[in-house]
Amino acid sequence: MVSIKPKIRFKILIIDDDKDICDFMETFLKGEGYQVKTLQDGRQAAEVVRKGGFHMIVLDLMMPGVYGLDLLKEIRKVDTEASIVIFTGYPSLETALESMKMEVFDYIRKPFSPKDFKDVIRRIVKKKGLLTDPEEELHRAIGAKIRAQRKKKKLTLKHISNRTGLSVSLLSQIERAESSASLSSLYKIASALDTKLNYLFRDF
């Protein structure tokens, strides 16, 4: 199945005083292709949000020196468009209801499932109309795999061209997802890379 990504670099801000959580979220989300900034001092959040242009903000409700719902109000004063997801190890009906009044997108209890969290992001991306076309994403992913495998084997585009009979220009366009490749061309490329054709389609 094709993994659908945003058309643009999706920007996420994590606001949590726990450094381990910030580090984990940054590694996890960057690995998914998102642009991530973490902030451990909630008192700086409003200013960071004002300047950041974030699509999504993940906010911990319980942080020293600042009450999460008050901080949520401050964030909403400077940004009414970002999708906010509340992150808390101490969920309550009261904070859930107050959060929803301020148009929070979701309310997640710690610890969380990375898979469930990715689903939340996908829903936000879809809601904002930022999804790519699945076919376009497939071409991009195949091109990235070809390039990665070629680099791994220390081959140039010219090497692949000599082995496949395909032009350097076409191979470059395929790697950059600027041109779709026929199944025949992909078979030739896979053979030139000494790999199986299904490798290029793995994980889709």
CATH number of domain containing 149: 1.10.260.40
Domain boundary among 127, 156, 185: 127
Mean pLDDT of 73-98: 89
Indicate whether 34 and 96 sit together in one domain: yes
Domain boundary among 85, 106, 127: 127
Q: Is residue 5 part of a domain?
A: no
Q: Can you give the pLDDT at residue 83?
A: 94
pLDDT digits (tens, 9 = 90+) for 146-171: 999 999 999 999 999 999 999 999 99
Domain boundary among 127, 160, 185: 127
Q: Can you give the pLDDT at residue 204?
A: 59
pLDDT digits (tens, 9 = 90+) for 4-21: 454 557 899 999 999 999
For 168, the 3-state DSSP assignment is helix
Mean pLDDT of 109-131: 83
Indicate whether 29 and 107 sit together in one domain: yes
With a pLDDT cut of 70, the percent of the chain lying above it is 93
Indicate whether 51 and 110 sit together in one domain: yes
Question: 83 versus 179: which is more confidently predicted?
Answer: 83
Mean pLDDT of 130-156: 84
| Domain CATH number, residue 35 | 3.40.50.2300
Indicate whether 116 and 90 sit together in one domain: yes
Q: Is residue 3 part of a domain?
A: no
139-142 own/partner pairs: CB under 8 Å, 24+ apart: 139/174, 139/177, 139/180, 139/181, 140/177, 141/2, 141/3, 141/203, 141/204, 142/174, 142/177, 142/181, 142/186, 142/200, 142/201
User: What is the rounded distance in angstroms from the CA atom of residue 130 to the CA atom of residue 133?
Assistant: 10
Indicate whether 120 and 29 sit together in one domain: yes
Indicate whether 167 and 67 sit together in one domain: no
Q: Can you give the pLDDT at residue 155?
A: 95
User: What is the rounded distance in angstroms from the CA atom of residue 95 to the CA atom of residue 69?
Assistant: 8
Indicate whether 147 and 98 sit together in one domain: no
pLDDT digits (tens, 9 = 90+) for 33-79: 889 999 999 889 999 999 888 999 999 988 888 888 899 999 999 99
Mean pLDDT of 93-107: 88
Q: Is residue 6 part of a domain?
A: no
Indicate whether 111 and 146 sit together in one domain: no
Q: Is the pLDDT of residue 173 over 50?
A: yes
Q: Can you give the pLDDT at residue 135?
A: 72
Indicate whether 120 and 171 sit together in one domain: no
Q: Domain total for the chain?
A: 2
Indicate whether 79 and 59 sit together in one domain: yes
Indicate whether 155 and 120 sit together in one domain: no
Q: Is residue 38 part of a domain?
A: yes
Indicate whether 123 and 153 sit together in one domain: no
Q: Identify the domain containing residue 166 by its residue range.
A: 134-201
Q: Is the pLDDT of residue 99 over 90?
A: no
Q: Is the pLDDT of residue 2 over 50?
A: no
Its pTM stands at 0.60
How do 66-67 and 62-63 pair as beta strands?
antiparallel
- Confidence band (pLDDT; 50, 70, 90) for 3? very low
User: What is the rounded distance in angstroms from the CA atom of residue 110 to the CA atom of residue 88?
Assistant: 6
